[in-house]
């Protein structure tokens, strides 16, 4: 009886999370319209650091979603890269990167996405990564799998699964470089050297949320990066786990907990070997 009751509550909670995810997905898709509207117009760019940009589009998308998400879950904390990066996560929180891949956006490259995670009681329970330029929307709900829709919201969703690649020699690796790369280029180059020498290839597309989504979708076998923020990884972390992959800190063993020192995400099979690439 106790187990059945527990299952009932688990089921009810998953249904609530699925409903929240569906509502948030609609809002994120609508915000994708802002990105598309701005895509062919001149960019208005400001510098947050030497190479860290913010455009008027990042701000417009964040403003739109801050309001839309407030209507969906009024009591949730809003942690947004551009307006509330230091907000503390409460029982419920939205974790938003309005435009992941801002440098790509500024240069007219299509690897850009809005990344949104829903945090509840100490974990990410839903995640959405939407690339309106390429017409790809990824999402996951904890316990209900990871999914991708290509084209509009009427297209059939396809369930995602990570690769089964078992050797570094056959593995395609994705990574990114922190904005502080000039200060830590030694480590960054050492990890890259190992990856280039031991794996099939390395890609650096410039949008960490998409890197994680592509790992979940089986395009990459390994992703690592130091210096990422919660808004870069919240949604993608869940996508990878729900697609059967593994996410940890760089040592390959410690739980990942938005640690800025590094995220290592793999298909699971290669996790130990991938951690070895980073042990320099
Ligand atoms: C950046 C991208 C990039 C990664 C950087 C991130 P932003 O996010 O995800 O791939 O290498 O570390 O900060 O600034 O475009 O939102
Ligand atoms: Ca980002
Ligand atoms: Ca961003």
CA dist 161 and 189 (Å) reads: 30
The yes-or-no verdict on residue 188 having pLDDT over 70 is yes
| pLDDT, position 225 | 98
129-145 residue pLDDT tens: 999 999 999 999 999 99
**Average pLDDT score over residue span 195-206:** 98
Residues with Cβ within 8 Å of residue 65, at least 6 apart in sequence: 27, 28, 31, 80, 94, 96, 98, 114, 116
178 C-beta closer than 6 A to ligand 1:
yes
Helix, strand, coil shares, percent, the chain, to 5:
40, 25, 35
Ligand 1 pocket mutation, candidates 111, 228, 229, criterion most atoms within 8 A of CB: 228
**Bridge partners, residue 139, by sequence:** 128, 147
pLDDT bucket at 45, cuts 50 / 70 / 90: confident
3-state secondary structure of 234: helix
Instruction: Report CA(103)–ligand 2 centroid distance (Å).
Output: 10
Using the predicted structure, report yes or no on whether residue 190 has a pLDDT greater than 60.
yes
Instruction: Give the annotated binding-site residues for Mg(2+).
Output: 81, 97, 100, 232
Number of Cβ atoms within 10 Å of the Cβ of 253: 11
Bridge partner residues of 211 (DSSP):
none
Protein residue with its CA nearest to atom 16 in ligand 1: 100
pTM check: above 0.85: yes
pLDDT band at 8 (very low <50, low <70, confident <90, very high): low
E-assigned strand segments in 132-188: 136-141, 146-150, 158-159, 172-175
Q: Which of 12, 266, 26, 36 is nearest to 128 (CA)?
A: 26
Instruction: Name the pLDDT band for 1 (thresholds 50, 70, 90).
Output: very low
Report the residue among 51, 59, 101 best suited for mutation to probe ligand 1: largest number of ligand atoms under 8 A from its CB: 101
Lowest mean pLDDT of 14-23, 43-52, 84-93, name the range.
43-52
User: Which is the closest atom of ligand 1 to the Cα of 176?
Assistant: 11
The CA-atom distances, in angstroms, between 66 and each of 27, 72, 73, 94, 230 are: 10, 10, 11, 9, 16
The pLDDT confidence band at residue 10, using thresholds 50, 70 and 90, is: low
Q: How confident is the model at residue 4 (pLDDT cuts 50, 70, 90)?
A: very low
| Strand pairing class (201-203; 172-175) | parallel
User: What is the phi/psi pair of residue 272, to 5°?
Assistant: -60, -45
What would the pLDDT profile of 100-159 be if each residue is shown by its tens digit?
Answer: 999 999 999 999 999 999 999 999 999 999 999 999 999 999 999 999 999 988 899 999
Question: How far are the Cα atoms of 124, 150, 155 from residue 94, in angstroms, in the given order?
Answer: 9, 24, 26
What is the reported pLDDT for 277? 98
**E-state strands within the chain:** 45-47, 53-55, 77-80, 92-100, 113-120, 123-131, 136-141, 146-150, 158-159, 172-175, 201-203, 222-225, 246-248, 263-266
Domains of the chain, CATH where assigned: 2-159 (3.30.540.10), 168-277 (3.40.190.80)
């Amino acid at each position: 009886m106790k187990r059945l009751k527990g299952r009932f509550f688990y089921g009810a909670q998953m249904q609530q999370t699925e409903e929240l995810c569906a509502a948030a997905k609609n809002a994120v898709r609508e915000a994708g319209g802002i990105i598309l509207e701005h895509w062919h117009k001149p960019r208005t760019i400001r510098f947050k650091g030497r190479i860290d940009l913010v455009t008027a589009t990042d701000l417009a998308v964040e403003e739109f979603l801050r309001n839309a998400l407030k209507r969906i879950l009024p009591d949730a904390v809003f942690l947004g890269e551009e307006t509330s990066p230091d907000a503390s996560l409460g029982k419920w929180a939205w974790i938003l990167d309005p435009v992941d891949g801002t440098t790509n956006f500024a240069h007219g490259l299509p690897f850009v996405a809005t990344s949104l995670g829903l945090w509840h009681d100490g974990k990410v329970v839903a995640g959405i990564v939407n690339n309106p330029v390429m017409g790809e929307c990824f999402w996951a709900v904890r316990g209900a799998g990871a999914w991708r829709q290509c084209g509009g919201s009427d297209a059939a969703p396809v369930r995602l699964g990570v690769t089964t690649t078992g050797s570094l020699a056959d593995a395609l690796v994705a990574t990114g470089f922190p904005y502080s790369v000039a200060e830590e280029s030694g480590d960054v180059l050492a990890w890259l050297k190992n990856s280039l020498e031991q794996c099939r290839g390395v890609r650096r597309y410039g949008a960490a949320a998409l890197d994680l989504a592509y790992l979940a979708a089986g395009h990459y076998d390994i992703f690592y990066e130091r210096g990422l923020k919660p808004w870069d990884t919240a949604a993608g972390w869940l996508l990878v786990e729900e697609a059967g992959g593994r996410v940890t800190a760089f040592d390959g063993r410690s739980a990942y907990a938005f640690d800025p020192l590094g995220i290592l995400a793999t298909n699971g099979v290669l996790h130990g070997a991938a951690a070895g690439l980073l042990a320099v």
